[in-house]
Amino acid sequence: MGLAHAADRRARDYSLGMRQRLGIALALLGRPKLLVLDEPGNGLDPAGLQELRHFLRQLAREDGITLFLSSHQLAEVEQLASHVGVLEGGRLRFQGPLEELRQRARPRLLLRCDAPARAMRVLLDAGEDPALAEGQGLRFAPRLPVAELNRRLVAQGIGIHHLALEQASLESLFFDLTAAPAGERAA
């Protein structure tokens, strides 16, 4: 776990990240088949997080250990998990493969162009529902093929700078799953 250099120090003098590593090392002493981790990346710097992800993947792949990860850091979960469970308000909103959860959301298209207002009109006329995005862009879940949308925009003299499909992040999928229906929202 990368703690050999600090073997002569007391654990109470370890940084938070070092304590996290020590806790994982201690949990592995008994060669468990299941390792339950609560916020394992807490206190680690980016290099430490990358090293931890590599180590945990190796544990699962080579040692056959099942990892059960509890975390609020959804970007981190997304990089490690093959299966997810989404809990909200004590209710299980989803349980299954991450890919199955991703398939529930249509990819969104990010469009950056030289005339966003005109592009919005062209897209609305085509039956799309674009919304303004950061940096003079538009974002929407396309109904028509992307190539057809591009053709329509270019035919109207709109210069396209960026046109890319984006997969939904685990964070956005979480909010889609846990959003209260309109009638249940607090006033």
CA–CA gap between residue 104 and residue 152 (Å, rounded): 28
11 located within any domain? yes
Mean pLDDT per 10-residue segment, the chain (187 residues): 82 82 87 90 82 87 90 86 88 90 84 93 94 85 93 95 87 79 44
- CATH assignment of the domain containing 156: 3.30.70
Residue 76 CA from chain centroid, whole number: 7
Supply the CATH number for residue 48's domain.
3.40.50.300
The residue range of the domain holding 161 is: 108-167
Q: SS3 for 52? A: helix
Q: Do the domain assignments include residue 55?
A: yes
Helix (H) or strand (E) holding 63: helix 46-63
Would you say residue 61 lies in a domain?
A: yes
pLDDT at site 126: 95
Q: Are residues 61 and 119 in the same domain?
A: no
Model confidence pLDDT, tens digit, residues 74-121: 888 888 888 999 888 888 989 999 888 888 877 889 999 999 999 999
Q: Is residue 27 domain-shared with residue 76, that is, in the same domain?
A: yes
Show which of 31, 46, 81 is a domain's final residue. 81
Judge whether 60 lies within some domain: yes
142: left (phi over 0), alpha (psi -120 to 50) or beta: beta
Could you tell me if residue 90 is inside a domain? no
